[in-house]
Chain A
Amino acid sequence: MKKQFLMLSGLLFIPISIAEVVTGTDELAQLPFWELRTQAMTFRLVQRLPDQTRAYFSGRGFAKKDVDAIAGYCFFQSVYTNTASANSQHIIEHDASQWRIDYANKEQPLVLREDWRGIWEKRGVNNAQKIAFEWSLLPTRQRYQPTDYNWGMTAYKLPHGAQFNLKISWTLNGVAKHAVIKNIRCAKDIYIPPAGNQ
Chain B
Amino acid sequence: MAMKKFKNMLLLVLFMGVVSSQGVIGQESLHEVKGHPAAVAFSLLDIDDNTHSLAAYKGKVVIVNFWATWCPPCRFELPAMEKAYQKLKTEDVIMLGINVGEDADTIFSFTADYPVTFPLLMDRDSKVTQAYPVIGLPTTFVIDPNGKIIYRAVGTREWDERSLIKKVLALKKK
Q: Which residues does A use to contact B, with CB under 8 Å?
A: 1, 4, 8, 11-12, 14-16, 18, 37-40, 56, 59-60, 81, 83-88, 90, 127-128, 131-132, 134-136, 138-139, 141-142, 144-152
Contact = CB atoms under 8 A, between A and B. Distances in A.
B124 to A, nearest CB: 7
Contacts of A81: 155
A133 to B, nearest CB: 10
Contact of A88 (B23, B135, B137): B23
Contact of B154 (A11, A56, A86, A144): A144
B72 to A, nearest CB: 6
A155 B41 CA distance: 34
Given A132-B70, A148-B153, A138 B136 contact: yes
Contact of B10 (A8, A60, A134, A148): A8
Interface string B37-54: 000000000000000000
Majority SS at the chain A contact face = mixed
B23 A8 contact: no
Nearest to B74: A151
B18 A15 contact: yes
B29 A8 contact: no
Interface of B: 2, 6, 9-10, 13-14, 17-18, 20-25, 27-29, 31, 68, 70-73, 100-102, 124-126, 135-137, 153-157
Contacts, number: 108
A152 B136 contact: yes
A46 B13 CA distance: 32
B88 to A, nearest CB: 21
B33 to A, nearest CB: 10
Given A83-B25, A132-B102, 16 more contacts: A4-B6, A8-B10, A11-B17, A12-B17, A14-B14, A18-B21, A37-B22, A86-B27, A135-B137, A146-B29, A146-B31, A147-B29, A147-B155, A149-B73, A151-B71, A152-B136
